[in-house]
Amino acid sequence: MNTVMSSTAPEKPMLTVLSGKKPKRPPFWFMRQAGRYLSEYREMRARAGSFLDLVYAPEMAAEVTLQPVKRFGTDGAILFSDILIVPHALGQTLDFKHGEGPVLDPITKTSDLSRLSLDQLHKIAGPVYETVRQVKADMPPHVALIGFSGGLWTVASYMVAGRGGDDQRAAKRWAYGDPEGFGQLLALLEDATVAYLLEQVKAGADVLQIFDSWAGNLPEPMFTDLVIAPTSRLVTRVKEAAPHIPIIGFPRGAGPLLGRYVAETGVDAVSLDTGMCLTYADETLPRNFPTQGNLDPQMVVAGGPMMEREMARILTSFHSRPHIFNLGHGFVPETPVAHVEALVGRLHDWQDTPA
Ligand code: CP3
């Protein structure tokens, strides 16, 4: 008897979609659904002291993971953690400065790699796996628990720049000037990310998402080497050990390279950013290939009729394929909860709309 399969016995609409089928109502969850736009998050964050203290406190992190599920009835619960936990668990210093985002002490050359090691990975990330176990134990059975990591290129670009921002110049200069040295960083990150994702699966994650937030703005051969190839290796290795686990890729900014990303990485579904043309995506992707995403987070800040029109446009565009409703990028802190409630109300109703 296969205990792994039987543990997913109650129908989870997200898993139905990810297996290539269409449930009556498209399931939904939101990127950054746990976060500062929610007062209950801000309270918990204040109680924890800092963002990292919150991530490494399983009981609180599990509660934060479930806050949007309880409030909005989302079909997915995304683990409360961060893509930068992997570099932190490899030994890089990490701090989330108020109003500034993440700050790391930069790794810019091959000799810096000696500062990183896999030895403490599971010890440092252990509380994150414990969060997964606690969420799994407390979660409604129809909800899917989404584990995640960053894409290797995206995480590497933070490690090299030492900070956030929409400029990958430091990582590009290393990757283009010394592909072999940069390849060593990617290889270490790959080993760490595979191990980190597999521990999340062992702890109870139902789905994995790979956030490659900075996949855009690369020349095509570099997109091949830095996004497609590392993602393909990651997916292959995770699936070797956990063949049942569906993996959603999020190659933000991939544009016309979307089709190649899907064909060559082996992901089971793709999350579409706000700028993606939906007609193009629908024409490019294989029949029945599941999609997710694309509502502009700023639409939810604005709310009102345009937000609802956009919601309907997205759902209608993907009417003929399995689809998970989501944003094109995460909620911003200014998002009014009332607008999320209005959106969610419409999404719950959508099942009544004739096909
Ligand atoms: O609901 C969820 O999605 C919660 C889990 C989650 C967080 N970060 C929590 C978080 C996830 C999936 C992420 C992914 C993440 N983190 C990405 C990929 C998606 C994307 O947004 O592009 C990236 C690039 C990061 C790196 C990161 N973490 C940045 C740039 C920042 C600062 C910007 C900001 O919004 O503050 C963070 C911090 C962070 N990660 C917060 C949260 C809730 C805010 C921290 C706080 O409470 O002050």
**Which residue among 83, 143, 155, 300 has the greatest number of ligand 1 atoms within 8 angstroms of its CB, and so is best to mutate?**
83
Tell me, what's the pLDDT at 10? 61
| pTM exceeds 0.85 | yes
Tokens of 269: 């579904």
What is the best residue among 32, 55, 154, 159 to mutate for testing ligand 1's pocket, by most ligand atoms within 8 Å of CB?
32
pLDDT score of 317? 95
Identify which of 47, 33, 70 has the alpha carbon closest to the alpha carbon of residue 300.
33
Is 148 close to ligand 1, i.e. is its CB under 6 Å away? Answer: yes
Q: Do residues 267 and 247 lie in contact, with contact meaning Cβ atoms separated by under 8 Å?
A: yes
Measured by CA distance, the residue closest to atom 37 of ligand 1 is: 101
Q: For residues 17 and 22, what is the distance between their CA atoms, to the nearest angstrom? A: 6
Q: Is residue 309 annotated as part of the catalytic site, yes or no?
A: no
DSSP H/E element including 282: helix 278-284
Note if 32 is an active site residue: yes
Q: How far is the CA of 32 from the centre of ligand 1 (A)?
A: 7
Residue nearest to atom 10 of ligand 1 (CA): 82
- Report pLDDT digits (tens) over 153-188: 999 999 999 998 767 999 999 999 999 999 999 999
Reading phi first (left if > 0) and then psi (alpha if -120 to 50, else beta), residue 253 is in: left
Contact 13, 347 (CB under 8 A): no
Residue 243 near residue 281 (C-beta atoms within 8 A): no
Written as one letter, the residue type at 182 is F
Q: How far apart (Å, rounded) are the C-alpha atoms in residues 119 and 111? A: 18
DSSP annotation of 30 reads: -
Q: Give pLDDT, residue 99.
A: 78
Residue written as token pair 């400065």: 97
Instruction: Give catalytic status of residue 321 as yes or no.
Output: no
Q: What is the DSSP string of 161-196?
A: HSB-SS--HHHHHHHHH-HHHHHHHHHHHHHHHHHH
3-state SS assignment for residue 94: strand
Nearest Cα residue to atom 32 of ligand 1: 101
Q: CB under 8 Å to 14, separation ≥6 — which residues?
A: 27, 29, 75, 76, 143, 144, 206, 207, 324
CB of 33 within 6 A of ligand 1: the answer is yes
pLDDT of residue 9: 55
Burial of 349 (0-12, 13-18, 19+ CB in 10 A): exposed
Residue 163 annotated among the catalytic residues of the structure: no
Ligand 1 contact, 72 CB (< 6 A): no
Atom of ligand 1 nearest to the CA of 333: 35
The region, left, alpha or beta by phi > 0 then psi within -120 to 50, assigned to residue 162 is left
- Write out residues in the chain with pLDDT < 50, as ranges: 1-6, 8, 352, 354-355
